[in-house]
Structures are given as C-alpha cells and as structure tokens.
C-alpha cells in the first residue's frame, strides 16, 4: 500500500494501481493527485486520519503543498480563502463541531466564489455528545450555498474528490464543493480501490486558473467584496445581480457535475451516477431514496427483496446540493410508494431532511405519492440489510394506503 501510494504521488507513475485503504486516506491520496497549493488543517474525529495522511504526504515529500496547521476550523477555511484569492488550489476537511465553528467563513465562501474543496466527514450533531457518523452536520448547512456531493464507497470518495476540483473550478460554477463521506463508515472503512494514473489526472485537471474572477493581486489591484446592498443607489440591484448569479451557477453545477462525471468515466473507466443513481428501478412499484454509504446495505436488501418478488428499487442521491429536482422526478416517475431514509433529523417538519426536500419533487411529479420518512443510522448506529428489509416492508404498506403521520425511527428497537 505504501509503495503504491508513493508511486501514485509522483508523475512517473502512469499506470493504475490497486491498493486497500480507508476513505480518509483515499481522499488524501486524491488530493495529492490534483497537486494542490495549499492545505489548511485542524484535526477532529472522525476526520483526523484524513489530515494526518495529508500531513504525512507533505512531510514525506510525496505532495508539494503548503500545509497550514491553523488553530481552529474558522482559521482553516479563512487561510484557504486567502490562498484561493491569491490563485491557489486549496483543500481541507472537517466535520460536525468543526463545521459549526467554521460556519462564519463557510457561509461566506460561496459568495466569494472560491473553488475550495472540502471533505466533509459527516458527523452527527451535538448534543448529546457524540463523535460518530451521521448527516446532521451537512444537513444543517445545506442553505449555505456549497455544492454537496455524497459518496457511497471508498472508491467513490477517491474519484469524487478528484472530480470535485474540476467541478468547483469550472468557469460556469466557481463554487466550493463538499465531498461528503460518512464518518466511521467511509472514513475508517477500508476497501480495495483503484488509483488513477497521475498523468491521467494531470491531463484531466488541465490548466489551473483559480482566481481569474476575483484576485488579491498587486498586479491587477481590485477591491474584493466591497460593501454591497442597502436600500439606496446601486446597492439593491448590485446585491441582487450578485445573488442571482450565484443561484444560476448552482444550477449550472447540475450540468457541469454530469459532464465531469462523463469525462472522468471516459478517461478512467469508472462511472458513477453524477446526480441520482437508479438501482433496479425498472418496473419498480416502490422506491427507497438513500444518501451515502447506507446505499450499500440498501442495495443488498433490495436484491434479496427482488429475489422474493418485490418490485422495489433504489434512487440514491449523490448530488444533494444543488438539489437535482428534475433527475429525481424522472427517477421516481413510475413509483407508487417512496421510503426516504435519512441519517439526520429535520426538527421543524418532524421528518428527515431528505424527505422534506423530496416532498417538493412530488409536487413536480404532479401526483401525490405515498411517502414515508425513515430516520436511522444516527450517531454511528448501523443501518444493516435487516434494517432495510424493515424499511422495504413499511414502504410496501404505503401502497395499501397506510401512510404514517410521523417519521419511523429505524434503530428504535436495536
């Protein structure tokens, strides 16, 4: 493994290599392959091994990047903002409380239109005090304006991390990207992965131009982020124009994410559904909607249910922000029941956040589909094949008109 890593980190290594590594290491290796300028890190469980791998790669000379050991996540992202405004390709990773502490600069990054990539090693919210996986952190910031892409496997973590830079830096996008990998399951889960060849990644990444739009550069002085808005003069129109452009770029991202995935598949031979994956959805009368690593267990359960004659499939959301409304509407077009499985809670609607978002898709479908919200896997709890059999069974009940009036807590009887 170590050997393979070393080769992967050098331009001389041109052939694909196979290694076994955990998701955090896969992310770090992917970062090394895109040759970033600046990394800024602060350790937090379950992200820590990711930044440890970054530090080791730099320390060993296998990655030529500045690494700033900032004194907290707030500064971590702030350092990267500065570096990006000076033209640097940047990366960091955090989770849970770290993301909460980072929120002020996090909230600002999309507005600065900086193509920063950040692995979000998802972690449940506190309190109760918890250090384990869950999507609560990512869901909490879903209106901050970042692109958020969820991975299902360690391989997908590696490949998506590479693609994330292309997506973020695309001229029609210029937005920061969270590559979401489930804490514990993907961060620490080891799997066999295939490393792309460095020359191929170099070619895939192409020319670097991070700050063509906004720069802190004495050679072309400008004010970055002057005061904008208010109720008089050019302010309101200027602010609106800016925000509208940001929304437009978010929608552009749906197209760019798809294009980048297609190009990646063509170059490296590994294809992932960019927005939404349909799994065994042909002729399905009901669908499970999943997010992230839970999808593996869900697929096993669906395979078994199909073998038992149930017409059930899975619609896995990969790109959660921007929310792929059209893709979901198409994927769910023929189903009579939907079970949405969330790894976090939506406090306001008493349901999972993905479920809540999906309700909008149903409006787009033009017919009321019986839908249930399943909440499970909180704070590191397992979502097993057995759990998904229960989910499938309960979703099947929707077909008969038995729609629950609240969420179903999957791990309640564990």
Nearer to another protein, 62 or 108 (CB): 108
36 scored as a contact of another protein (CB under 8 A): no
Which residues, listed in sequence order, are joined to residue 290 by a DSSP beta bridge? 316
Euclidean distance between CA atoms 13 and 19, whole angstroms: 14
Q: How far is the CB of 100 from another protein (least distance, A)?
A: 14
Q: Which of residues 96-125 bind another protein (CB under 8 A)?
A: 104-105, 108
69 scored as a contact of another protein (CB under 8 A): yes
207 scored as a contact of another protein (CB under 8 A): no
70 scored as a contact of another protein (CB under 8 A): yes
Nearer to another protein, 20 or 224 (CB): 224
Which region, judged by CB under 8 A, interacts with another protein, from 123-131, 158-166, 218-226, 380-388?
Answer: 218-226
Which region, judged by CB under 8 A, interacts with another protein, from 32-40, 53-61, 135-143, 180-188?
Answer: 32-40
The string of DSSP letters for 84-97 reads: HHTT--EEEEE-HH
262 scored as a contact of another protein (CB under 8 A): no
Euclidean distance between CA atoms 107 and 115, whole angstroms: 14
224 scored as a contact of another protein (CB under 8 A): yes
Rg, Å, the chain Cα set? 21
Single residue of 199, 203, 212, 225 touching another protein by CB under 8 A: 225
Single residue of 223, 307, 401, 405 touching another protein by CB under 8 A: 223
Classify the C-alpha dihedral 154-303-409-320 as positive or negative: positive
Backbone angles phi, psi at 264, to 5 degrees: -65, -45
First-to-last alpha carbon distance for the chain, in angstroms, is: 37
309 scored as a contact of another protein (CB under 8 A): no
Nearer to another protein, 80 or 257 (CB): 80
Nearer to another protein, 81 or 373 (CB): 81
Which region, judged by CB under 8 A, interacts with another protein, from 18-26, 181-189, 227-235, 279-287?
Answer: 227-235
Window 231-250: contact mask with another protein (x via CB under 8 A): --xxx--x------------
Residue 83: Cβ within 10 Å count? 24
37 scored as a contact of another protein (CB under 8 A): yes
Contact predicate 120/95, CB 8 Å: yes
Which residues, listed in sequence order, are joined to residue 41 by a DSSP beta bridge? 69
Alpha helices in 9-47 (DSSP H): 23-33
H or E element that contains 156 = helix 154-169
277, two tokens: 């994956």
Q: How far is the CB of 218 from another protein (least distance, A)?
A: 5
Nearer to another protein, 238 or 381 (CB): 238
Euclidean distance between CA atoms 390 and 200, whole angstroms: 44
Residue 360: Cβ within 10 Å count? 12
68 scored as a contact of another protein (CB under 8 A): yes
Backbone angles phi, psi at 403, to 5 degrees: -100, 125
Which region, judged by CB under 8 A, interacts with another protein, from 222-230, 249-257, 339-347, 380-388?
Answer: 222-230
218 scored as a contact of another protein (CB under 8 A): yes
**Structure letter (DSSP) for residue 150:** E
Contact predicate 328/254, CB 8 Å: no
88 scored as a contact of another protein (CB under 8 A): yes
Q: How far is the CB of 285 from another protein (least distance, A)?
A: 51
Q: How far is the CB of 114 from another protein (least distance, A)?
A: 10
Nearer to another protein, 217 or 402 (CB): 217
Q: How far is the CB of 87 from another protein (least distance, A)?
A: 6
Backbone angles phi, psi at 388, to 5 degrees: -70, -30
Q: Is 284 left (phi over 0), alpha (psi -120 to 50) or beta?
A: beta
Nearer to another protein, 233 or 401 (CB): 233
Residue 55 exposed, middle or buried by CB count within 10 Å (0-12, 13-18, 19+): middle
83 scored as a contact of another protein (CB under 8 A): yes
Q: How far is the CB of 171 from another protein (least distance, A)?
A: 20
Which region, judged by CB under 8 A, interacts with another protein, from 61-69, 143-151, 270-278, 290-298?
Answer: 61-69
List the strands of the sheet with 66-69, edge to edge. 66-69, 38-41, 90-94, 117-122, 177-182, 147-150, 319-321
**Residues at the contact surface with another protein, assessed by CB under 8 A:** 37-38, 40, 66, 68-72, 74-76, 78-88, 90, 104-105, 108, 215-218, 220-229, 233-235, 238
């Amino acid at each position: 493994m170590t050997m393979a890593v070393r080769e992967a980190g050098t331009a001389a290594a041109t052939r694909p290599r196979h290694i076994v590594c955990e998701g955090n290491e896969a992310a770090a290796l992917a970062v090394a392959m895109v040759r970033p300028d600046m990394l800024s890190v602060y350790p937090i469980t379950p992200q820590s091994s990711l930044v440890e791998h970054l530090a080791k790669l730099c320390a060993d000379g296998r990655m030529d990047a500045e690494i700033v050991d900032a004194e907290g996540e707030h500064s971590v992202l702030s350092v990267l903002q500065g570096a990006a405004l000076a033209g640097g390709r940047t990366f960091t990773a955090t989770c849970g409380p770290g993301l909460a502490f980072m929120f002020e600069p996090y909230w600002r990054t999309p507005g600065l239109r900086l193509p920063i990539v950040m692995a979000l090693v998802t972690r449940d919210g506190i309190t109760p005090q918890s250090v384990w996986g869950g999507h609560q952190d990512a869901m909490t910031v879903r209106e901050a304006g970042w692109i958020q892409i969820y991975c299902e496997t360690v391989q997908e973590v590696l490949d998506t991390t590479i693609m994330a830079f292309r997506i973020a830096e695309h001229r029609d996008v210029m937005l920061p990207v969270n590559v979401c990998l489930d804490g514990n399951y993907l961060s620490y889960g080891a799997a066999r992965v295939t490393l792309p060849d460095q020359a191929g990644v170099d070619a895939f990444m192409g020319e670097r131009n991070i700050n063509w739009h906004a720069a802190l550069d004495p050679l072309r002085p400008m004010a970055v982020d002057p005061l904008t808005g208010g109720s008089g003069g050019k302010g309101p129109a200027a602010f609106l124009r800016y925000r509208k452009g940001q929304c437009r770029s978010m929608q552009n991202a749906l197209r760019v994410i798809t294009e980048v995935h297609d190009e990646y598949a063509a170059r490296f031979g590994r294809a992932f559904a960019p927005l939404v994956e349909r799994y065994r959805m042909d002729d399905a009368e009901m669908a499970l909607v999943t997010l992230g690593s839970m999808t593996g267990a869900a697929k096993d359960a669906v395979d078994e249910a199909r073998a038992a004659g149930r017409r059930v499939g899975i619609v896995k959301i990969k790109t959660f922000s921007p929310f792929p409304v059209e893709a979901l509407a198409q994927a769910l077009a023929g189903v009579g029941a939907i079970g949405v499985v969330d790894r976090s809670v939506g406090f306001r609607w008493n349901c999972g956040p993905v479920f809540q978002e999906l309700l909008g898709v149903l409006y787009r479908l033009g017919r009321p589909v019986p839908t249930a919200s399943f909440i499970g896997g909180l704070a590191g709890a397992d979502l097993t094949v057995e759990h998904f059999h229960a989910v499938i069974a309960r979703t099947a009940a929707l077909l008969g008109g038995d729609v629950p009036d609240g969420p179903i807590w999957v791990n309640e009887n564990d």
